[in-house]
Amino acid sequence: MQLAVNILVLAAIYALIACGYVLVYRVSRVLNLAHGELMMLGAYLLLMTATQFSSHWLVAIAAAVGLSLIVGVLVYLFLMRKMTGEMVLAAVLTTVALGILLRGAVVFVWSAQQQYPAQRLEIANFAIALPGGARISLCAALLVATTALVYGGLLAFLRFGRWGVRMRAAGQNPLLAAQRGIDLHAIYALAWGLSTLTGALAGMLIALDSGLDQTMAIIGLKAFPAALVGGLDSLVGALAGALIVAGAEVLLIHYVDPLLSEVVPFLVLIAMLIVRPWGLFGTREELDRV
Amino acid sequence: MLRKLTAAAVAAIVAWPASAQDAYTIGLTGALTGPPASTYAPAVEALRIYLERVDAAGGINGKKVNLVLQDDSAEPSKATANAKKLITQDNVILLMNASLSSTYAPMVAEAKRAGVPLLFASGVCPKDVYPPADPLLFCTTAYAANYDSRATLAFIKETAKEPVKIGFSAMAIPLSRGEMDFAEQQAPGLGMTVVGKEVIPPPTPDYTPFATKLRDAGANWVFSWAPWVTQVRTLEALRRLGWQGDYIAWSHLEAEGELARLKDGKFYVIGANALFQDELPIHKEIAEAAKKAGVQYPAQQMAEGWIAGLVIEAALKATAWPPTPAKLAAAMSALKVDTRGLRGGPIEWTKDNHFRTRQYYRVYRWDPGKGAIVRVKDWTAFDVK
């Protein structure tokens, strides 16, 4: 039972991070390689709001989530918007530069030491006993619940929401969407905002569970294979990819060798690229264009 | 007017190298940013403050100390470029490393090529500084491969009230893995049963799968010798799984603050530096200096850098002016520095031993009854041969 819980928690982490990659790629065809750093920035924003609202953890988290959304929108408005009409590669390289900048900025502002937002917010991260002798920490349980809510919300938003439908339209055919009067810049800004928000949520919950340091940016990259395995333009695919990668990782740690956990996501990715390069739920013709 | 400005500029250009040559120029490359920076940056900051104090007090032998800092983000390629720059452009007489062990090999190569002594000032001491030591390599850092495991296992044997079933936790980097392999080999000879060893890749989003294996293996003691993040997150994951055993880890810079944060009565830290709870006069001195300098890191994390400062000051004092790398290396090969209680004894370097002749260990833990950190075992000495 504990194994199943471990798989579920790791899958939730990967899925919550991966949906940020998918949102931006699906709408603008840009691979955001600064997603890990934006996720880390979100966690550090929580540290900042935790100092301001230490006795009101819900307010602190809500403020950090709001700030993350704004950061995502600003990244688009002041950086990625300038890349409109340029080669996709130029936009991707811009995200690499953004990532390097954010990593330096975080050390400059918050120093290199380990931080514990849960301690500042006085959140007791106690263990919850589950049937079958399994246990899960409060923050890990919250992470699983948040992932379910985020995916449910995003899928409903993209299917039924006015702006969600516009986002899908812009992703499928930007020219036609623009001719129909859809403001592409507003759609792209929204996609970047939502992507940063979901990544930041993952960063905040991981930081609440086990602490915060600069390695978090690399955790963001570890979730990338999950998005690719599922199909880079599919939210359902990201969920499935996260489950496959997390399942393979936890089972190999338990039954074979813990060292394999580092390479497993990429082994799964290579296998998928050989068999089905566009991923489990990805769109073939879209990826052919890349 | 233009002629005056030109003359002033020329004078400044000519005067700058002269003033730089009028100081002991030493250079450090370290992980000031990047994933492992939390272990190294506070030590470098402490060293910087220490040397600024020395300069403010008149310098060494009447000369200032010019410390050139370079960030390598724990990347070997950057460390190599930094070492080359420090040697060829800054003309340093001493190179220092405060970074991951993966940066050592290229830096050692550069130092040897240029004949400049290399001091490991907060990264783990390489075996090249143990007897018989490499003539150019020196180390002031508290932790030391093999000696640390011997001391830890001896403490576990002495403390355990029931047969020890031990598990190990390492980070997937060569030195940490090597040390846990060494401990795994030593433990059966001390009557312990080895039940598991987890080598955890950095970074890991969730330590629970690794902790689950240690718990399920039936360990009643777990020993971890790894960067702090691996040590403490493995412990926290074990506790969340309901594991009630004893856990011992290396007392890195973060240890004191973390013992107080976790308040876990069965979490021990073993190390070679005295914690600030001992309230030595030198601890107060460090705390005041850190406060005055307005550093970002807690004073408790500055002992390692302070010790490096004490040693560098003593080494430069013993180096006749004008200093050269060869003169400094000779001075460092016959040095004895009083650590004023920060360590169990002096740092003593000889021609063959550039680590220390005796390594001392202390063990601390949180005492839930007293609500404070307590010393569990006082200095225990191990001869370095």
B322's tokens: 């004008």
Residue from the list A6, A210, A214 with its beta carbon closest to the beta carbon of B35: A214
Sign of CA dihedral B177, B179, B182, B186: negative
Shortest distance, CA A43 to any CA of chain B (angstroms): 14
Shortest distance, CA A69 to any CA of chain B (angstroms): 23
Question: Once rounded to an integer, what is the mean pLDDT over residues B110-123?
Answer: 94
- Residues of chain B found within 8 Å of residue A260, distances taken between Cβ atoms: none
Residue B15 has pLDDT above 50, yes or no: no
Shortest distance, CA B39 to any CA of chain A (angstroms): 8
B247, β-bridge pairs: B222, B267
Cβ burial B65-93 (10 Å sphere, 16+ → b, else e): bbbbbbbbbbbbebbbbbbeebbeeebbb
CA distance A201 to A217: 14
- Using CA coordinates, name the residue in chain B closest to A130: B241
Among A103, A140, A109, CA closest to A9: A140
Mutation pick from B69, B200, B208 vs chain A, by most beta carbons of A within 10 Å, is B208
Mutation pick from B168, B197, B206, B256 vs chain A, by most beta carbons of A within 10 Å, is B206
Residue from the list A6, A103, A135 with its beta carbon closest to the beta carbon of B33: A103
CA distance B230 to B224: 8
Helix or strand run (H / E) with residue A147: helix A138-160
CB contact under 8 A, B241 and A222: no
Residue from the list B207, B213, B261 with its beta carbon closest to the beta carbon of A254: B213
DSSP string, B303-336: HHHHHHHHHHHHHHHTSPSSP-HHHHHHHHTTEE
Q: How far apart are the first and last CA of chain B?
A: 68
CB contact under 8 A, A216 and B208: no
Residues A111-157 have pLDDT tens digits of: 888 889 998 888 888 889 998 889 999 999 999 999 999 999 999 99
Q: Give pLDDT, residue B2.
A: 42
* Phi, psi values for residue B311, rounded to 5°: -70, -45
- Residues of chain B found within 8 Å of residue A214, distances taken between Cβ atoms: 33-35, 37-38
Going by pLDDT thresholds of 50, 70 and 90, the confidence category of residue A285 is low
- Residues of chain B found within 8 Å of residue A215, distances taken between Cβ atoms: 35, 202-203, 229
Degrees, nearest 5: CA angle A114-A119-A120: 95
Mutation pick from A212, A261, A267 vs chain B, by most beta carbons of B within 10 Å, is A261
Q: Please identify among residues 54-113 of chain A the ones whose CB lies closer than 8 Å to any CB of chain B.
A: 103-104, 107, 111-113
- All domains of chain B in start order, with CATH: 2-142+279-359 (3.40.50.2300), 147-276+361-383 (3.40.50.2300)
B380, β-bridge pairs: B361
Residues A182-196 have pLDDT tens digits of: 888 999 999 999 999
Going by pLDDT thresholds of 50, 70 and 90, the confidence category of residue A265 is confident
- How many CA atoms lie less than 13 Å away from B140 in the CB half-sphere? 32
Q: Give pLDDT, residue B18.
A: 38
CB contact under 8 A, A218 and B34: no
- Using CA coordinates, name the residue in chain B closest to A139: B240
Structural domain for A195, as ranges: 2-289
Q: Give pLDDT, residue B220.
A: 96
CB contact under 8 A, B209 and A125: no
Instruction: Name every residue in B having a CB less than 8 A away from some CB of A.
Output: 32-35, 37-38, 40-42, 172, 198-210, 212-213, 228-229, 232-233, 236-237, 239-242, 254, 258, 261, 296-298, 301
Shortest distance, CA A36 to any CA of chain B (angstroms): 12
Residue from the list B203, B241, B261 with its beta carbon closest to the beta carbon of A116: B261
Among B95, B90, B123, B92, CA closest to B108: B95
Residues B146-193 have pLDDT tens digits of: 899 999 999 999 999 999 999 999 998 888 999 999 999 999 999 999
Helix or strand run (H / E) with residue B364: strand B358-367
In 3-state terms, what secondary structure has residue B71? strand
Going by pLDDT thresholds of 50, 70 and 90, the confidence category of residue A233 is confident
A84's tokens: 């409109």
Return the number of CB contacts < 8 Å for A and B. Answer: 113
Residue from the list A14, A114, A253 with its beta carbon closest to the beta carbon of B229: A114
Shortest distance, CA B9 to any CA of chain A (angstroms): 33
In 3-state terms, what secondary structure has residue B349? strand
B360, β-bridge pairs: B381
Amino acid at B3: R
Shortest distance, CA B71 to any CA of chain A (angstroms): 11
Q: Residues of chain A with pLDDT > 90: what percent?
A: 54
- Residues of chain A found within 8 Å of residue B172, distances taken between Cβ atoms: 259, 262
Residues B221-267 have pLDDT tens digits of: 999 999 898 999 999 999 999 999 999 999 999 999 999 999 999 99
CB contact under 8 A, A214 and B228: no
Shortest distance, CA B11 to any CA of chain A (angstroms): 36
Residue from the list B200, B203, B229 with its beta carbon closest to the beta carbon of A258: B200
Q: Give pLDDT, residue A251.
A: 92
CATH number of domain containing A157: 1.10.3470
CB contact under 8 A, A219 and B203: yes
In 3-state terms, what secondary structure has residue A186? helix
Q: Give pLDDT, residue A62.
A: 94
Q: Answer whether B198's CB lies under 8 Å from A258's CB.
A: yes
- Using CA coordinates, name the residue in chain B closest to A106: B33
Q: How many domains does chain A have?
A: 1
Shortest distance, CA B304 to any CA of chain A (angstroms): 15
CA distance B210 to B201: 10
Question: Once rounded to an integer, what is the mean pLDDT over residues A169-173?
Answer: 87
Question: Once rounded to an integer, what is the mean pLDDT over residues A253-260?
Answer: 87
Q: Please identify among residues 221-250 of chain A the ones whose CB lies closer than 8 Å to any CB of chain B.
A: 222, 249-250
Shortest distance, CA B223 to any CA of chain A (angstroms): 17
Residue B7 has pLDDT above 60, yes or no: no
ipTM confidence: 0.86
